[in-house]
Amino acid sequence: PTPASRLTPPIHRTPSSRITPSSRRTPGGRMMPASPLPPSRRTPLNHDPRMGAPMMSPVRRGDVDVRRAGGARHVQKFAAIPPAVSEDPVTQEMLQTVARALDTIEYPSKQYIRKLVEKLAIQHGNKFPTYRFTERGDLFSPYVTVAVDVSMTFVDPNRGVVSISEFASLERVATRLVRGQQNLMSAQVKYGDIVEFDGEVTDLQELRDLVKRGADTVVLTGRFTLPDGWCAPMEFALRRGKALLPKRRRLEMLRASLRQHDYADAVHNLRTMLVGDRRADFVSGWSMVAGHLRFLAQQLSLLRVMSPSEALDYLERLGLSQEHSAEEWAKIVGNEIQRLALEYLRRSTEYYQAVLQNSGSDILEAIELGN
- The pLDDT tens digits along the chain (371 residues) read 444 433 444 333 333 333 333 333 434 444 333 333 333 332 333 334 444 433 445 666 644 444 344 445 555 566 668 888 999 999 999 999 999 999 999 999 999 999 999 999 999 999 999 999 999 989 999 999 899 989 999 999 999 999 999 999 999 999 999 999 999 999 999 998 899 999 999 899 999 999 999 999 999 999 999 988 999 999 999 999 987 788 899 999 999 999 999 999 999 999 999 999 999 999 999 999 999 999 999 999 999 999 999 999 999 999 999 999 999 999 999 999 999 999 999 999 999 999 998 888 899 999 998 85
pLDDT of residue 58: 61
| pLDDT for 64 | 44
Strand order in the sheet with 150-156: 132-134, 150-156, 231-240, 217-225, 184-191, 194-200
143 vs 150: CA distance, rounded Å: 15
Q: What are residue 217's phi and psi, to 5 degrees?
A: -140, 125
CB 370: neighbour CB atoms within 10 A?
A: 13
Instruction: Give residue 111's Cα distance to chain centre.
Output: 13
pLDDT reported for residue 80: 64
